[in-house]
Structure 1
């Protein structure tokens, strides 16, 4: 019995002195990198966080040093070996850290710093791999390798002095080498195909003349189709978009999601599938019966007290106002869209039809319509909406300092949920953009109508000689070229909206003439990946911009994908 107790004591003692480690990034440094006040653990009480090690943290240009905290636990010293590898020595100087390459992990909490200094010669993204080797069990010969991944953003000195650099420029320079390699591989592939075609043709000549001709033609046609380069995926980015640790049963791979056939008319479409069942018929809510929508919404002009102007265009105005509703004992603060006395009859009619496009619909991420003042007809109409604490989403983003990735994803999912509701009612929005959203405290977003958007945001709309002012740079290719609108075209516009959110309200395709947009999109040109945008999130955008509408993900698939991405992101911190 005594021997048994002694053995138990010895084993417990061995467990207590077993080498163990804590390795993490302090919450203050995580806040600087990711915008989240939380510690980022790589090893906690000797347990390795594989999710955190698999995540590439982007280091912005203004951050030049990384600090890591560590401690060997239980008072047991632990040897380590440190190595730092960088992917581009021309853009990033040799890393410098304030500890030796080899040594002992301190038994008390301590920190060490890695300095990443850009040379100022290039504007690019540099891969940085920090490799730490430590023994994680009683056998010092059994080494655990911890690879911490970073992506350092470097800017050219002239661009730093100028106050920034365009995202498109960074993307273009970063991808030049990839383009050259791709063209070389394509050329080699074409040579191989031509050789095979010649051999096939020679073999075919041994058959009869008629069969020889037919076989030669079929062979040539087959080879041409096999070497055709797909242009419907922007930037030649094709393949799965998988989040590590998420199974395919949850539809996390957007490349495997395929659409059912989409309608083909501009506002309404009824098609028939191969099984004979008709496709849903989608409509434009702007073209619905206005008189029916006004039933129960018309209120007296005396119920509205206009206060200060929030936004003003050429003929349109957005007011902060008080609404004296018969259902409320006290007036409530609202937002009112109206026009000036000098507005035309057509402008007044458009404000009413567009302002009431979402009337009668109830969803937490759609802006409701509280009432409408349309009498007398000769007076400017007023459309009454609930007030939002932060106002228009585009203006909010342009005045915002920064958004972390989980906030960007949250905004995107909320707009998708609004679109899913509209599509379930067989309605199309046709103008999905940050200018047509409002935001409240806690980054709660609601999709709105598009009334006055052309007047308040004239730079976002263009006429291409057809007297129709359209959001050219938000439109899908088929909508731009043929005025075809479907749920898939709403998905395209949502992808541009997510790019807006990621860039804090920048103008998409700012350097491209509106008259050239259709040709540019046909050539495969798409928006570049914003700095600090995770690859998984940008790939979701690019799949929204595929040329073929049927190959774009549905709204529901995007919600699933982004929800899974958000859950996976939450595991890191």
Structure 2
């Protein structure tokens, strides 16, 4: 009897729904316990390959992708028979360049334990090059009736070149099971270090307070600060000011000093901008197609974001703030702002280069079947190619220490050649109101695109962008269906905590959905980086092109 584990299926269905069961002629358990499933998949469940002598056929369709930092796999087994069961364990890894030689912590042959015990397979990355390698763990069990059961378990390990450095610092096994002595000394070191930094903080706070008080008194007397001049009116502090004062609004908190220089560099005379047709329109926001006349007299097609006359000052400032998030970005897959136009008593214009592209979400929705037929039939190869373009853009943003925080199909554009560009999220709340919800905090957020930590504690990181990228991939494969359409926004946090995720779209390959589900790990550290996603998607794209 043989169990062969091939392509991945939906992890949620795999763990919670056991179907198509066959009974083997012997009683034993072979499974992954709750801690290991939580570590690899972020789910609170057990994954059984054989349970009480019953084989889980559903598990035969699952290849478990393993993050690069996890070098050890753990399995739990136990014999339920009175007579001992003989076993043989073998680990094969065909790609020796990416991985080191695998090591078992048990003998290759022996007797299966009668009590529940765990054994491990250590497969560290070599650190020589980045890539993925398939690992086969073969377990042969000899039953009392002399029947032989072969269990072949596949893992797909991701490695990067820096792994060898990480392994020298801390091995996977040490991070899972640290010794009590190390934990004691580590706690003592943390306590001493905290006390030291606390004393330094108190000292520096006292010194700074004295200096700040002295400088503040001098500044108030001399009235030299332009910000102090504007703060004499208490209402001016809490308001956003007029259109003319908008450039003084600090859009990037880490570099407020040169924000006026940035706006001045982007300022374009209104007489050079010509509005032509409305591309998108919301309650207070509009997106136009237009032209911009350069200094040399040449005319360039532009995309123009603006607001209507009845828009509030807060909405205008939000337009400027979100529009400036892509300032000074130069990447072929990022639509960065071209200029800003201000004029008295009119709404500001945000100008972007225009190459006859469409909003990606609207484009995907038009790819669905309709009475007129299909606007465009997307192939898996085209979808993966678009995903690779987005990963390249996100890699560029993260290298510049910038987070998108609202990565979705609505914030991307696509041209006729399926070239993708990521945009800022200016006006997205108004143009796509169904994608944003308020949870009682007076802030519209893309609830169903947010990572679990961003949803609960408003914490954003490169890992939270990876989660949103997973939802964006799901949009690509489902032709822009609404994610979690049946879930109330107020229940999303509890829904995700319980381990539920989006289901696999129709016609989405198992290999691609495995990458998508990998982005939704509960622990942010267990999610892949965009570099790893690029490696996985590139390999899958190469496999697709071999059959074209």
TM-score range (shorter-chain normalised) is 0.5 to 0.7
Q: Distance in 2 between matches of 1:227 and 1:440?
A: 42
Distance 1:225 1:572, change over 3 A: closer
Shift, 1:388, TM fit:
3.3
Bigger Cα displacement from structure 2, 563-572 vs 461-470: 563-572
2:364 aligned with 1:389: no
Q: Which residue of 1 aligns with 2:304?
A: 336
Q: Which residue of 2 aligns with 1:46?
A: none
Shift, 1:285, TM fit:
7.3
2:316 aligned with 1:348: yes
Q: Which residue of 2 aligns with 1:461?
A: 436
What RMSD in Å do the two structures reach over aligned CA positions?
A: 3.8
2:340 aligned to 334, 352, 372, which one?
A: 372
User: For 1:124-203, what aligned pairs fall within 5 Å after superposition?
Assistant: 178=18
Q: Which residue of 1 aligns with 2:424?
A: 449
1:232 aligned to 39, 42, 45, which one?
A: 42
Q: Which residue of 1 aligns with 2:398?
A: 423
2:142 aligned with 1:317: no
- Secondary structure of the equivalent of 1:295? helix
User: For 1:435-514, what aligned pairs fall within 5 Å after superposition?
Assistant: 435-514=410-489
Question: Structure 1 runs of 4+ off > 3 angstroms?
Answer: 171-177, 179-182, 187-190, 223-231, 233-238, 244-250, 253-261, 284-290
Shift, 1:293, TM fit:
2.5
2:238 aligned with 1:358: no
User: For 1:40-79, what aligned pairs fall within 5 Å after superposition?
Assistant: none
Shift, 1:250, TM fit:
3.9
Bigger Cα displacement from structure 2, 226-235 vs 487-496: 226-235
Shift, 1:324, TM fit:
1.1
2:502 aligned to 521, 524, 527, which one?
A: 527
Q: Which residue of 2 aligns with 1:252?
A: 132
Q: Distance in 2 between matches of 1:255 and 1:509?
A: 30
Q: Distance in 1 between matches of 2:358 and 2:44?
A: 33
Shift, 1:308, TM fit:
1.2
2:380 aligned with 1:405: yes
Q: Distance in 1 between matches of 2:536 and 2:386?
A: 14
- Secondary structure of the equivalent of 2:316? helix
- Secondary structure of the equivalent of 1:252? strand
Distance 1:516 1:306, change over 3 A: same
Distance 1:420 1:173, change over 3 A: closer
2:529 aligned to 548, 551, 554, which one?
A: 554
2:546 aligned with 1:571: yes
Shift, 1:256, TM fit:
3.8
Q: Is the 8 A contact 1:488 1:552 kept in 2?
A: yes
Shift, 1:299, TM fit:
0.9
- Secondary structure of the equivalent of 2:64? coil
Distance 1:484 1:189, change over 3 A: farther
Shift, 1:307, TM fit:
1.1
Distance 1:255 1:181, change over 3 A: farther
- Secondary structure of the equivalent of 2:266? coil
- Secondary structure of the equivalent of 1:366? coil
User: For 1:265-344, what aligned pairs fall within 5 Å after superposition?
Assistant: 287=253, 289=256, 290-327=259-296, 329-344=297-312
Q: Is the 8 A contact 1:388 1:438 kept in 2?
A: no
Distance 1:363 1:226, change over 3 A: closer
Distance 1:557 1:174, change over 3 A: closer
Q: Distance in 2 between matches of 1:406 and 1:436?
A: 22
- Secondary structure of the equivalent of 2:322? helix
Shift, 1:240, TM fit:
2.9
Bigger Cα displacement from structure 2, 515-524 vs 399-408: 399-408
Shift, 1:304, TM fit:
0.8
Shift, 1:241, TM fit:
7.2
Shift, 1:564, TM fit:
1.2
Cα shift readout 1:38-76 (whole Å, capped 9, x = no counterpart): xxxxxxxxxxxxxxxxx99xxxxxxxxxxxxxxxxxxxx
Q: Is the 8 A contact 1:286 1:354 kept in 2?
A: no
Distance 1:177 1:487, change over 3 A: closer
- Secondary structure of the equivalent of 2:414? strand
- Secondary structure of the equivalent of 2:437? coil
Q: Is the 8 A contact 1:241 1:539 kept in 2?
A: no
- Secondary structure of the equivalent of 2:358? coil
Q: Is the 8 A contact 2:38 2:44 kept in 1?
A: no
Q: Distance in 1 between matches of 2:487 and 2:272?
A: 46
Shift, 1:570, TM fit:
1.3
